[in-house]
Amino acid sequence: MTNPIGDIGGADFILAIGTNTTESHPVIGLQVKKAVRNGATLVVVDPRRTEVAGLAHHHLQLKSGTDIALLNGLANVIISEGLVNKEFVDTRTEGFEALKEAVAKYTPEYVAEITGISPGVIREVARGYATAKNATILYTMGLTQHICGTDNVLAVANLAMLCGHIGKPNSGVNPLRGQNNVQGACDMGALPNVLTGYQSVTLEDVRSRFAAAWGVSELPAKPGLTVGEMIEAAARGEIKGMYIMGENPVLSDPDADHVIHALEKLDFLVVQDIFMTETARLADVVLPAASFAEKDGTFTNTERRVQRVRKAIEPLGEAKPDWQIICLVATAMGYPMQYGSPAEIMEEIARLTPSYGGISYQRLESRSLVWPCPAPDHPGTPILHVGKFARGLGKFHPVEYVPPAELPDEEYPLILNTGRRHFHYHTGTMTLRTGALEEYYGREHLEINPADARSLGIADGDRVRVVSRRGQVEVTARVVDTVPPGVVFTSFHFPEVAINKLTNTARDPVARIPELKVCAVRVEKIA
């Protein structure tokens, strides 16, 4: 996020795109509700009528995967009606003319044809966003899990720069990230192309600095493979061994049967987890890890806030904290790795990572710190891009609408959309074992519009089979009008409804994110 979570509550206008905020980020949802109570205008862009869409002044129930058309349409109105923040565009950005040219054809009437949103609403939302004192954009994977995910985000950034709603309080471009430490895992270089703090592996001086600190002569220079590419390489027999820590790709990744096939093909798989997950079952060795309650450390949240995790109890049985296990494996492989505590590891991180340079356990004991925090006396940076973008001038990136990779046809006439539920989390590994959450919400269902249900002869509570080109699952139908005709929805939390057997592996060419929000399916009643 460019801005703190608390800023949302102070916004005058909220544009929430592809975020089921009150279910997936309930406590961030409270800030949205607070803003609305204080008079802010809320616009929700989502094919489904989620709870937060129910609170919105405008719910833009667009056709799945048409976000770029909509966002370009908003930019078109803002430019053609003279609502551009001229001072911001002149002094802080470059490439405006190219954007202007690119969005010229995205008139509200043209966009209405693609998205299904009426031209009048597009105009009203564009005017509302442009003329608000402070407008914020929130988004999650409803925007990013498309083959054009990167372009979707660029279109969002274009909008914020056009109106100058960035680099100041209560505004900004704010992705709400889904997992406790997904931000931190990225910051720490658990990515194929960067080391800590997004320092590129392709830069000689970066590699030599890390190599020196890590006591080796050189580090690999070629960017590695992403999750999906590793799975594909494993299926081709090019990757022979994998080490998976605290992830469950069998349920979380698209085309699950293919993932299983790829992992089974490996010569050796070691999985380190707190439970015997669907992925761990395929392993040759399973190493028992400690849970968050059994170790010290830090998590970095979606607003870049680094906070302490504190050990409350001893690890269960012989389980060990992941950091200790990694040290053992490294040492056994001939590279002695030893730390007295996670605090010591953070000292090393701070030395190698400019944005974490001022972060230490001593400082975190009294309060959290928001990176960039380059020095021990630096207070942290809750708002990014104040006065200047990281690259200097903010660059407008013109982007074009492309339809999703797999659209409905005669054989597979419905769009499958997937997401999360309020009472559960990711692949259900934890939330299906709490003695409470699964007791209250223990079975998954498929949401289907009454019109589709009627034409398929499906009644509420019927068992149905959902089939795509890649796989099928059986699930109970729930007939609701929160999904539009032509779209069905379910979550990926439940192993017995492993919906990612069906989803499409088509990926965004830049971020390599799979298009989990759109694939073509058919639904059959089970006799």
Partner 1 sequence: MAEVTLTIDGRQVTVPAGTTVLDAARSAGIFIPTLCHDPELTPWGGCRLCVVEIEGMRNLPASCVTTATNGMVVHTASPAVVEARKTIIELLLANHPEDCLTCGRNGDCRLQDYAYLYGVREAGFVGERHHYPLEEDNPFIIRDLNKCILCGKCVRACAEIQGKNVVDFAYRGFNTKITPAMDTSLSGSDCVFCGNCVAVCPVGALQEKGLRAAARTWEVKKVRTTCPYCGTGCTFDLNVKDGRVVGVTSCDGEVNGRALCVKGRFGYGFIHHPDRLTKPLIKRSGVFEEASWEEAINLVAEKLGSIKKEYGSAALGVLSSARCTNEENYLMSKFTRVVLGTNNIDHCARL
Q: Which of 83, 329, 402, 456 binds partner 1 (CB under 8 A)?
A: 329
The answer to whether 443 contacts partner 1 (rule: CB under 8 A) is no
Q: Which of 86, 133, 236, 310 binds partner 1 (CB under 8 A)?
A: 310
Contacts with partner 1 by CB under 8 A: the residue count is 146
Contact (CB, 8 A) for 134 and 434:
no
Contact (CB, 8 A) for 165 and 88:
no
Other Cβ atoms closer than 10 A to 372: 19
* Site string (31-60) toward partner 1, x via CB under 8 A: --xx-xx-----------------------
Q: Which of 205, 392, 436, 527 binds partner 1 (CB under 8 A)?
A: 436
Closest CB 260 distance from partner 1, rounded Å? 15
| Assigned token pair, 146 | 């498309």
How far, in Å, CA of 459 to CA of 417, rounded? 20
Applying the rule CB under 8 A, the residues between 106 and 145 that interact with partner 1 are: 144-145
Applying the rule CB under 8 A, the residues between 259 and 278 that interact with partner 1 are: 267-268, 270, 273-276
| Angle, CA of 437, 439 and 442, to the nearest 5° | 90
Q: Which of 257, 456, 511, 525 binds partner 1 (CB under 8 A)?
A: 511
* Number of continuous H segments (helices) and E segments (strands) in the chain: 21, 21
The answer to whether 372 contacts partner 1 (rule: CB under 8 A) is no
Closest CB 67 distance from partner 1, rounded Å? 17
Contact (CB, 8 A) for 280 and 310:
no
C-beta closer to partner 1: residue 15 or 234: 234
Contact (CB, 8 A) for 269 and 263:
yes
Q: Which of 16, 25, 93, 102 binds partner 1 (CB under 8 A)?
A: 25
The answer to whether 364 contacts partner 1 (rule: CB under 8 A) is no
- Helices marked H in 291-436: 322-332, 342-352, 361-366
SS3 of residue 307 by DSSP: strand
Closest CB 241 distance from partner 1, rounded Å? 4
The answer to whether 299 contacts partner 1 (rule: CB under 8 A) is yes
The answer to whether 423 contacts partner 1 (rule: CB under 8 A) is yes
The answer to whether 506 contacts partner 1 (rule: CB under 8 A) is no
Residue 449: CA atoms inside 13 Å, Cβ hemisphere, count? 17
Contact (CB, 8 A) for 89 and 110:
no
Q: What is the DSSP letter of 64?
A: T
The answer to whether 386 contacts partner 1 (rule: CB under 8 A) is no
Of 111, 115, 40, residue with least CA distance to 78: 111
The residue range among 64-72, 165-173, 304-312, 459-467 that interacts with partner 1, by the rule CB under 8 A, is 304-312
C-beta closer to partner 1: residue 83 or 219: 219
Cα dihedral 323/325/326/328 (nearest 10) = 130
Of 297, 296, 289, 251, residue with least CA distance to 271: 289
The answer to whether 177 contacts partner 1 (rule: CB under 8 A) is yes
| Assigned token pair, 28 | 């961030």
The residue range among 23-31, 58-66, 105-113, 166-174 that interacts with partner 1, by the rule CB under 8 A, is 23-31
The answer to whether 247 contacts partner 1 (rule: CB under 8 A) is yes
The residue range among 111-119, 195-203, 465-473, 475-483 that interacts with partner 1, by the rule CB under 8 A, is 195-203
| Assigned token pair, 399 | 């982007």
Amino acid at 82: G
Closest CB 475 distance from partner 1, rounded Å? 20
Applying the rule CB under 8 A, the residues between 73 and 102 that interact with partner 1 are: none
Closest CB 210 distance from partner 1, rounded Å? 8
User: How many angstroms separate the Cα of 29 from the Cα of each of 14, 121, 185, 197, 428?
Assistant: 12, 24, 24, 29, 22
C-beta closer to partner 1: residue 241 or 376: 241
C-beta closer to partner 1: residue 34 or 378: 34
Closest CB 501 distance from partner 1, rounded Å? 15
Q: What is the DSSP letter of 62?
A: P
C-beta closer to partner 1: residue 99 or 350: 350
C-beta closer to partner 1: residue 20 or 72: 20
C-beta closer to partner 1: residue 108 or 175: 175
The residue range among 59-67, 95-103, 192-200, 446-454 that interacts with partner 1, by the rule CB under 8 A, is 192-200
Contact (CB, 8 A) for 124 and 3:
no
Applying the rule CB under 8 A, the residues between 206 and 245 that interact with partner 1 are: 210, 214, 216, 219-220, 222-228, 230, 233-234, 238-245
Of 516, 300, 282, residue with least CA distance to 416: 516
How far, in Å, CA of 390 to CA of 394, rounded? 8
C-beta closer to partner 1: residue 83 or 233: 233
C-beta closer to partner 1: residue 88 or 425: 425
Other Cβ atoms closer than 10 A to 77: 23
Q: Which residues contact 329 (CB under 8 A, 6 or more apart)?
A: 243
Q: Which of 5, 153, 416, 519 binds partner 1 (CB under 8 A)?
A: 5
The answer to whether 430 contacts partner 1 (rule: CB under 8 A) is yes
Q: Which of 327, 373, 405, 467 binds partner 1 (CB under 8 A)?
A: 327
What is the spatial order of strands in the sheet that 41-45 belongs to? 58-60, 41-45, 13-17, 135-139, 172-175
The residue range among 103-111, 116-124, 393-401, 426-434 that interacts with partner 1, by the rule CB under 8 A, is 426-434
User: How many angstroms separate the Cα of 394 from the Cα of each of 17, 94, 160?
Assistant: 22, 6, 10
The residue range among 10-18, 59-67, 96-104, 511-519 that interacts with partner 1, by the rule CB under 8 A, is 511-519
